[in-house]
Amino acid sequence: MGFSGNNNIETLLAQIRLNPLDPALYLSLAQYYYDEGEEEKARSIVIRRREMATTNAMIHRGWGELCEDLGLARQALESYQKALRFNPNDEKTLLRLAELLADVGRYEDSIHYLKKLLKRYPENEPAKNMMAENYRLLGLKGQAEALSSFTSKENENTIVRQFPISISNEDIQNVIRLFDGRERGYGLQKIDARSGELFYQIIDLPLPPEVIRAHLRGEVTLGFFPLREDKTIKVSGISVWIPFRVMAANIKNHGHLMFLMEKGRSYMLRMNSMLKSYGISSYLEDTGSYQLRLWLFFDRFIHFLKVKSLIQDLMKYQPLSIEESLMVEPIMPTVPQGVSWVEQVMMLPLGVHQGTGKRSLFLDKEGAIYPNQVKFLERIREVNISYIQQAVKNLNSKKTYQNPKSKFPSGQGPFQTLWENCLIIRKIGEKSLAGRDLLSEEKVVLFYTIGLLDQGEEWLHYLLEPGPRYHAEKVSRQARRLAPNPISCIKIRDWLPELTSSVACNCSFDLRGGKYPSPLLHVNPHSVPSTTDIDQIEKLPLKEIALRYLRLRNELEELEQIRQRTEDILERHFAKKQINRLKIQEKVLSRREYEGQITWEIGFE
């Protein structure tokens, strides 16, 4: 199988005496001895003559093949590489070198030469089969199947039925809202059937909703361009992945790859926790292809270089140190290429990665998979860039910072005051924080009390997020459209009679100035407006006047009940102290009894 030559030993030796500098003759002599079973003589010639100078690639390949036969793997590699130096695209040399590299465990280099071979000779079946096996060992079954006739039979005979998910127009709008980017253009992830490599087919058209629907169903895999024409982005984050060279080097050490992924997951969860402590919402995704992405969604478009700088600052305070086995970088819309930068297409979450056949999935704060991935998009909350700027500022100044919500319900502020003084608000809030679904009336109570406080929108998100039907965008939209008047205690009792009776809702307020009872009076009397003047009421329609009258009657009845309970309490205290008069500032509260009836009078001293 070596370089062809005259097998007559005498003739061959005579030719060598005439041409002692011809390496082809020594190769033929070594091959002759090997074929005759005299391996020591063949090995001696290889060691002494293999380095003879020549530009003939076939001779170097011949030395490589003979070295392989003699078990000289290192020398064989050197000879094949020399052969490629003079003929870089030689099909046989590329294949033999790739096979030998795989045999000695250098899978990364083997795959490199296989890719080069398949790019030049896409119909080379041994190379395709070998590359397919490498992809299979790496868990890239989609790429393996593209190169071979083998098709995965997973789940083919299962008796458990699977049903396609229903994708609503609102689900599609959530995707468009969160992953908004370039005004025109998107990519479809494909596999090159010749080399098995992934690529994106770029479509220079606006992204149709039906393509997004197909992506969510796993029928196609979409890529999007985050960068708009004005170089701004609305989504970014941090990416951790295993480089292909590390994957290839550990092609038969799958446990090590899983160890690296767990390290990456742990890092991302720590980063997520750090961001949360600064009031920054972030969302972890496993792409299904040895990559994790921690997404940040912004409430407006921001220049991508500004975002990049802020994320790099955050990453400095949560370093990842696993030598070079894992890569961590900001998720950016461009990648370096030569001396410039090129816009890149990114795989849209929740799709099926064509290489691995695995679906991209969002993970919770414990690293577990969320059960309903499409509906999870409703829970994603966009963050204001000022929160990240403040976090970086505190980190740079080494100032210890804790998000006020992390200390909840301790601390001071309007929300804590309301929480401590209104049992109704606390009960509804505790119910939501426990992950239970709220009644629509209970949500309205929170919106028209907490939602009207300073930073009310932030507190609404905090309370409602654990609930099963939390929708971040709807909460923000409703919080920004609230009417200025808070809900009254009368309305709360009317809507939630069982809850109000169970917690003894009997707060007493100063209602001077025409104010009506409301939980917000615990926080600030000025937060509750005065009732409408009678002159303005006269201009209203009859039904509206009647409704307001009924509301006033209800409030009066409620106040009368509170007055009676308060008088009973006063009676007990006056009797205990054996007094009938009590001076309060400039006034005197007097207790009078006539024919068994007790009355209370307020006068001046």
Q: Which of 505, 527, 549 is the last residue of a domain?
A: 527
Q: What is the mean pLDDT of the chain?
A: 86
Query: Are residue 240 and residue 359 in the same domain, yes or no?
Result: yes
**pLDDT tens profile 15-65:** 888 888 999 999 998 998 888 889 999 999 999 998 898 999 999 999 999
Predicted local confidence at residue 93, as pLDDT: 93
For residue 497, being part of any structural domain is answered with yes
Q: Is the pLDDT of residue 472 over 80?
A: yes
Residue 2, domain member (yes or no): no
Q: Are residues 549 and 467 in the same domain?
A: no
Does some domain include residue 390?
no
Query: Does one domain contain both 454 and 497?
Result: yes
Mean pLDDT of 257-276: 90
Confidence at residue 138, expressed as pLDDT on a 0 to 100 scale? 79
Position 544 in a domain? yes
pLDDT class of 549 with cuts at 50, 70, 90: confident
278 in the same domain as 424: no
- Rounded to whole angstroms, how far apart are CA atoms 366 and 330? 22
Query: Quick check: is 212 in a domain?
Result: yes
Residues 6 or more apart whose CB falls under 8 angstroms from that of 380 comprise: 174, 178, 281, 283, 295, 297, 472
Min mean pLDDT across 236-240, 255-259, 294-298 is at 255-259
Which CATH number characterizes residue 298's domain? 3.90.920
Domain count, the chain: 4
CA–CA dist 98, 112 (Å, integer): 8
- Give residue 173's pLDDT: 93
**Of 92, 579, 180, which Cα lies nearest the Cα of 380?**
180
Cβ neighbour number for residue 395 with a 10 Å cutoff: 17
The string of pLDDT tens digits covering residues 303-336 is 999 999 999 999 988 877 656 688 999 999 998 8
Residues 140 and 204 in one domain: no
Q: Are residues 268 and 191 in the same domain?
A: yes
The tokens describing 235, both together, are 């989504």
Does residue 373 share a domain with residue 455? no
Domain match, 174 and 136 both: no
- 403-410 long-range Cβ contacts below 8 angstroms, 24+ apart: 403/276, 403/277, 403/278, 403/279, 405/279, 405/458, 405/459, 405/462, 406/277, 408/462
Domain boundary (85, 114, 147) is at 147
Domain encompassing residue 576: 533-605
Q: Are residues 279 and 368 in the same domain?
A: yes
pLDDT digits (tens, 9 = 90+) for 196-232: 889 999 999 999 999 999 999 999 999 999 999 999 9
Question: Does residue 3 surpass a pLDDT of 50?
Answer: no
Same domain, 222 and 363: yes
42, 45, 50, 56: CA torsion to nearest 10: -80
Mind listing the pLDDT tens digit for each residue in 352-369? Answer: 999 989 999 999 888 899
Shared domain check, 176 and 140: no
Q: Is 3 a member of any domain?
A: no
Domain termination residue (choose one: 345, 362, 379): 379
Q: What is the CATH number of the domain that holds 52?
A: 1.25.40.10
Is the residue at 60 inside a domain?
A: yes
What is the predicted pLDDT for the residue at 1?
Answer: 42
Q: Which range among 1-5, 58-62, 102-106, 365-369 shows the weakest confidence by mean pLDDT?
A: 1-5
Same domain, 523 and 546: no
